[in-house]
A and B are shown apart, each in its own frame.
Chain A
Amino acid sequence: AQKITQTQPGMFVQEKEAVTLDCTYDTSDPSYGLFWYKQPSSGEMIFLIYQGSYDQQNATEGRYSLNFQKARKSANLVISASQLGDSAMYFCAMRENNNNDMRFGAGTRLTVKP
């Protein structure tokens, strides 16, 4: 069974600095996808970034990048130049090729300080 672990319940970062949110996963499927979602206080789920298990390069989307270390089974989200609007819950999720569902970690609450 797949499993997603986010070990940081809460993180603080100073505005304009970079922050890394940790995510580790467990799967025996060689083909899988990793996703990060943002959930602001308004409650909606916003897709941020995707990394495939066979992708050779780390994914990037604007200020978001994914530090993918396949051997360590980690997929950390890096947010550069943090903004006050980045304050939110962040969820890591995984989808295996042999499963039809997507499972989520417990989330990390990020607070950006002015």
Chain B
Amino acid sequence: NAGVTQTPKFRILKIGQSMTLQCTQDMNHNYMYWYRQDPGMGLKLIYYSVGAGITDKGEVPNGYNVSRSTTEDFPLRLELAAPSQTSVYFCASSRQGQITGELFFGEGSRLTVL
């Protein structure tokens, strides 16, 4: 049972480059999330989606874009990478948005922008 799968696990970018972090889940969850975690800090919500075709901004959306064309996939796009985007990125999903639904996390993607 794969759960939530993120790729790549590690990536180094140069300033100004662009890239896409891939996230896919096989649990048929409607809700998906992208968080970033800076060193020694908590998780901050970037974007989330409540279903295919629907996305919404979180706390720190600037510099990122998302799309949700299928239930399974929720890619995160970084345009014009900046050093401030150096972080660990987590994708997560939950069955529904109700208050009882815990998040299932991927293993994280460590991004360094130089």
| A residues whose Cβ falls under 8 Å from a Cβ of B | 6, 31-33, 35, 43-45, 47, 50, 52-53, 91, 93, 95-97, 99-107
Tell whether, in the assembled complex, residue A44 and residue B43 are in contact, meaning their CB atoms are under 8 Å apart.
Answer: no
A33 to B96 alpha-carbon distance, docked (Å): 13
Query: Looking at the complex, which one of B31, B58, B90, B101 makes contact with A45 (CB distance below 8 Å)?
Result: B90
A-B residue pairs in contact (CB < 8 Å), sample of 11: A6-B42, A35-B102, A45-B92, A91-B42, A97-B99, A99-B97, A100-B56, A101-B58, A102-B45, A103-B59, A104-B43
| B41 and chain A: residue at smallest CB distance | A106
Tell whether, in the assembled complex, residue B103 and residue A102 are in contact, meaning their CB atoms are under 8 Å apart.
Answer: yes
Total chain B interface residues with beta-carbon distance under 8 A: 28
Q: Does B84 contact A (CB under 8 A)?
A: no
Q: Does B1 contact A (CB under 8 A)?
A: no
Given contacts A91-B43, A103-B45, contact A47 B103 (CB under 8 A): yes
Given contacts A100-B31, A100-B50, A103-B45, contact A31 B99 (CB under 8 A): yes
